[in-house]
Structure 1
Amino acid sequence: MKKGLVFLVLVLFVVSVNGQTSFTSGWLPKVVVSAKTSSTTKWVNSIEAREVFYEDEFAFSHSLVDVSSIFSIKSDVNKSFNVGYIIRFKDDDIIHRTVQHFNLVQSFDALKLGHRFGFEQFFESGAKPQYRTRYRASLEKALSGDKVDVKEWYVKLSNEYLWQFNEEDLEVRLSPYLGYQLSKKDKLEFGLDYRLGKLLDTPKKNSLWFRTTWYISL
């Protein structure tokens, strides 16, 4: 697994260097608040900002804010479906997004392997609707024991592929995180979020974000 990860990072680096003309970096702070509405359903709300520190040169700017509301339905112990709505505020533009996700979690002793398959639709005034599909694989492991307990650390690694139908654009994301279980009701995660877009075109679009997420369960 480690060799495969190193190989993937090297491939992404080589691809990004060839023909690279743009690079963006910044911070993605996010707060996620969830509440169970029944034994099989959950309501998840979040707010995320995008603060740019570097865009071909060092310059701080506020890019956007995403506000989301998602309803999750658990169909099995390890399976769930998500349907929701995300509104994005970017400059003077407002972008509406509807999402449908299928989630599958597999447990292997001290490891958790997650899969997410998703479809998304984007709507914006004065623009044609956009459609995207995505697949994400994630691996989570407790750093002490077989499961994550309160006041314990864990690591998470995710690899995601996004396909934009209208623009025929492929994007790859690689995200290593370090998490800490603050209590039974909340946890913190922080790490890096590397994105390589326009993978089938030239020039490529690169971005590297420092991400911090606070998860709160009510």
Structure 2
Amino acid sequence: MVKKTLVLLFFFTTFMVASQSTFVGGWLPKVNTSTKLSEKTKWVNSIEAREIIYNEDFQFTHSLVDVSSIFSFKTDLDQSVNVGYILRFKEGETIHRTLQHFNLVQNLNGIKLGHRLGFEQFFQSQVTPQYRTRYRATFQKALSGKKVDVKEWYVKLSNEYLYQFNKQDFEIRLAPYLGYQLSEKDKLEFGFDYRWGQVFDLIQNNSLWFRTTWYISL
């Protein structure tokens, strides 16, 4: 087992050294609101911007805005299904995205583990429709006690894998966050979102974003 691990590590190290990469950095501010429609149904809306601060050199450029509307249906005590629609406004173009997500949340002695399996479709004028699948695992824990109470901090770690079929683009995301429960109705999360795209290509994409998200329950 150790030998196999060393061989795999050597392979990826050699691959990374031989590859070229690009780097972009910036800020991802987001506001997320959720409304409970029934005991098993929730309506979630959000708006998120992407502001570039570094792209080959330091600069400040507005990149895009995503506006989303998602309905979440609880199918079991710890399971739910999301269906939604996202509008992306980027450089004068409008990109339409539909999504279907399956969510599973586990509470294990003060630790919240989340799993999300998703399928997404992208539609844009004069562009072939694009299709993507993604899997995300999250870990969340209160910094004091077994659950997050009002005026308390918590940590959250997210690891996600995405594959876009048309472009055969495989991407890995890693995001550590620090959260604060402002009240029973809202919380704030901030942290870094690192993305490693086109993993198996000779020229890879790297980006690092500072993300701030305000969650509001209406």
Q: Specify the TM-score bucket, using the shorter chain as the normaliser.
A: over 0.9
Matching of residues 62-81 of structure 1 within 5 Å:
62-81=62-81
Answer yes or no: is the 8 Å Cα contact 1:29–1:212 preserved in 2.
yes
Amino acid of the residue matched to residue 85 of structure 2?
Y
Aligned-pair CA distance for 1:15 = 6.2
Aligned-pair CA distance for 1:31 = 0.1
Helix, strand or coil: the match of 1:129?
A: strand
Query: Is 1:140 aligned with 2:136?
Result: no
2:180 matched residue in structure 1: 180
Helix, strand or coil: the match of 1:128?
A: strand
Amino acid of the residue matched to residue 45 of structure 2?
N
1:34 matched residue in structure 2: 34
Aligned-pair CA distance for 1:37 = 0.3
Unaligned segments of structure 1, at least 5 residues: 1-10
Answer yes or no: is the 8 Å Cα contact 1:87–1:95 preserved in 2.
yes
CA distance in 1, matches of 2:93, 2:100: 23
1:82 matched residue in structure 2: 82
Asked which structure has the greater CA Rg, the reply is 2
Could you list the structure 1 runs, at least 4 aligned residues long, displaced by more than 3 angstroms after superposition: 11-18
What's the TM-score once normalised by structure 2's chain length?
A: 0.92
CA distance in 1, matches of 2:76, 2:94: 36
Aligned-pair CA distance for 1:16 = 5.6
Answer yes or no: is the 8 Å Cα contact 1:41–1:71 preserved in 2.
yes
CA distance in 1, matches of 2:150, 2:14: 40
CA distance in 2, matches of 1:92, 1:144: 46
CA distance in 2, matches of 1:40, 1:49: 30
What's the TM-score once normalised by structure 1's chain length?
A: 0.92
Q: Deviations over 1:35-75 (max 9, x none)?
A: 00000000000000000000111111000000000000001
In structure 2, the CA distance between the partners of 1:15 and 1:61, relative to structure 1 (3 Å rule), is farther
CA distance in 1, matches of 2:93, 2:83: 23
Unaligned segments of structure 2, at least 5 residues: 1-10
1:119 matched residue in structure 2: 119
1:20 matched residue in structure 2: 20
Helix, strand or coil: the match of 1:67?
A: strand
Percent identity reads 68
Helix, strand or coil: the match of 2:76?
A: coil
2:56 matched residue in structure 1: 56
Answer yes or no: is the 8 Å Cα contact 1:111–1:139 preserved in 2.
yes
CA distance in 2, matches of 1:183, 1:168: 43
2:200 matched residue in structure 1: 200
Answer yes or no: is the 8 Å Cα contact 1:196–1:204 preserved in 2.
yes
Q: Deviations over 1:85-128 (max 9, x none)?
A: 00000011100000000000011011000000000000000000
2:3 matched residue in structure 1: none
CA distance in 2, matches of 1:118, 1:111: 23
Aligned residues: 208
CA distance in 1, matches of 2:159, 2:51: 22
Amino acid of the residue matched to residue 169 of structure 1?
D
Helix, strand or coil: the match of 1:75?
A: strand
CA RMSD, aligned part only? 1.5
Helix, strand or coil: the match of 1:116?
A: strand
CA distance in 1, matches of 2:200, 2:63: 25
Aligned-pair CA distance for 1:19 = 2.2
Aligned-pair CA distance for 1:21 = 3.1
